[in-house]
């Protein structure tokens, strides 16, 4: 009971204590280092933005240049491998939807990952085209 009351009191005080934006000096909300107008100067926000821009640049490069532009260490490959690891076999179309990239670009990723030996595509009629990670899940993929 006392602990909850203390936390509430701390929050209420934090809200009341005026903080100032490190960039322009304007009053910021709840002790934040930046005002709403300069929130993009926050290191975390910058990092997220850089990652998103890098991902978009890679997608454009892969769409234009094909499998050779795929970055095996990149964010998109990590997303694909993460999905296959967590949820198992998937069709190319489903992978494309889940990673939010277009089907044609996903086919380039699949080609590159197959060439690298990271994934394989099932050939059994029932699951033809299904993508699986190479290794532990091979048997489940047919
Ligand atoms: Zn500011």
Range of the domain at 31: 2-38
- Which CATH number characterizes residue 81's domain? 1.10.10.10
Is 61 found in the same domain as 6? Answer: no
pLDDT tens figures, 67-126: 999 999 999 999 999 999 999 889 999 999 999 999 999 999 999 999 999 998 877 666
pLDDT band at 54 (very low <50, low <70, confident <90, very high): very high
Is 14 found in the same domain as 63? Answer: no
Is 70 found in the same domain as 113? Answer: yes
What domain count does the chain have?
Answer: 2
Interval between CA 13 and ligand 1 midpoint (Å): 22
Is 48 found in the same domain as 30? Answer: no
Is 79 found in the same domain as 130? Answer: yes
Interval between CA 18 and ligand 1 midpoint (Å): 13
Is 106 found in the same domain as 82? Answer: yes
Q: Which helix (H) or strand (E) holds 50?
A: helix 43-65
Interval between CA 116 and ligand 1 midpoint (Å): 47
Q: Is the pTM of this model over 0.85?
A: no
Is 53 found in the same domain as 34? Answer: no
List the end-to-end C-alpha distance of the chain, in Å, as a whole number: 57
Is 89 found in the same domain as 55? Answer: yes
Q: Contacts from 103-111 at CB under 8 Å and sequence distance 24+?
A: 104/63, 105/59, 105/62, 105/63, 108/62, 108/63, 108/66, 108/67, 108/69, 108/70, 109/62, 109/67, 109/70, 109/76, 109/77, 109/80, 111/66, 111/67
The environment of the single-atom ion ligand 1, i.e. residues with CB closer than 5 A, is: 21, 23-24, 26, 35, 37-38
3-state secondary structure (DSSP) of residue 96: helix
């Amino acid at each position: 009971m006392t602990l909850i009351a203390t936390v509430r009191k701390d929050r209420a005080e934090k809200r009341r204590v005026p903080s100032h934006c490190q960039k322009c000096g304007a009053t910021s909300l709840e002790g934040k280092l930046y005002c709403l107008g300069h929130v993009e100067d926050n290191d975390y926000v910058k990092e997220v933005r850089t990652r998103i821009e890098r991902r978009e640049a890679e997608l454009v490069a892969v769409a234009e240049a094909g499998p050779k532009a795929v970055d095996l260490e990149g964010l998109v490959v990590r997303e694909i491998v993460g999905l296959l690891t967590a949820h198992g076999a998937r069709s190319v179309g489903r992978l494309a939807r889940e990673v939010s990239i277009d089907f044609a670009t996903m086919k380039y990723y699949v080609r590159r990952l197959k060439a690298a030996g990271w994934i394989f595509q099932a050939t059994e009629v029932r699951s033809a085209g299904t993508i699986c990670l190479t290794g532990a899940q091979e048997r489940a993929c047919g």
